[in-house]
Copies of this chain bind each other. A is one copy, B any other.
Amino acid sequence: MSDELAQRLRKEGYRLTPQRQFVLRAVEKLGHATPDEVYAEVRSQSSAVNVSTVYRTLEVLEELGLVRHAHLSDRAPTYHSVTDHEHFHLVCRNCHTVISVDPDVVAPLAERLEREQGFVIDIGHLAVFGHCVECRPTDEENP
């Protein structure tokens, strides 16, 4: 796994550093995580990493296509590894549960938008907000 990282980095003239390995590993371990959470995880492994390095590294990793980010909350962006199979997210506005969904489900929509608008969806970045089964609004209450 560090092989792939090293390889991709070199290809773009970047260098393989322990920090970059820590960050990538943290993203893979956490699944979906904000920069802060990644930072916390990395720190728990090694205290020798700075926040700004985390930000800079996430940027590089995203440029290399090893991680992606989506906006799963009203606040910070959330990073996830790309080695997980591609997916998009349903986010409950009430309990903040994140459900990963297979891209197939959006395929028809994607095709339609591409056909009608020439717009190509970036599925990995897609976050669909709403309410999960548990939190569905009933008649009397409004979201």
Interface residues of A (CB under 8 A from B): 65, 71, 74, 77, 90, 92-93, 99, 101, 105-106, 108-109, 112-113, 117-122, 125-133, 136-137, 142-143
Contacts A65-B142, A127-B127 known; 14 new A-B pairs at CB < 8 A: A90-B119, A93-B125, A99-B119, A101-B117, A105-B113, A108-B108, A113-B128, A113-B130, A119-B130, A119-B133, A120-B131, A120-B136, A121-B128, A122-B130
Whole-angstrom CA separation of A130 from B120 in the bound complex: 5
Given A106-B109, A112-B105: A117 and B99 interface contact (C-beta under 8 Å): yes
Q: How near does chain B come to A116, taking the closest CB pair, in angstroms?
A: 8
Chain B, residue nearest A65 (CB): B142
Q: Tell me if A's interface is mostly helix, strand, loop or mixed.
A: mixed
A120 and B105 contact, CB distance less than 8 A: no
Residues of B within 8 A of A90 (CB): 113, 117, 119
Asked if B99 and A105 sit within 8 Å, CB to CB, the answer is no
Partner of A136, one of B71, B77, B99, B118: B118
Q: Which residues on the B side are within 8 Å of A118 (C-beta)?
A: 132-133, 136
Q: How far is the CA of A99 from the CA of B137 in the complex (A)?
A: 29
Chain B residue nearest to A136 in the complex (CB): B120
A92 to B113: give the CA distance in the assembly, Å.
Answer: 13
Find out whether the CB atom of B136 lies under 8 angstroms from the CB atom of A131: no
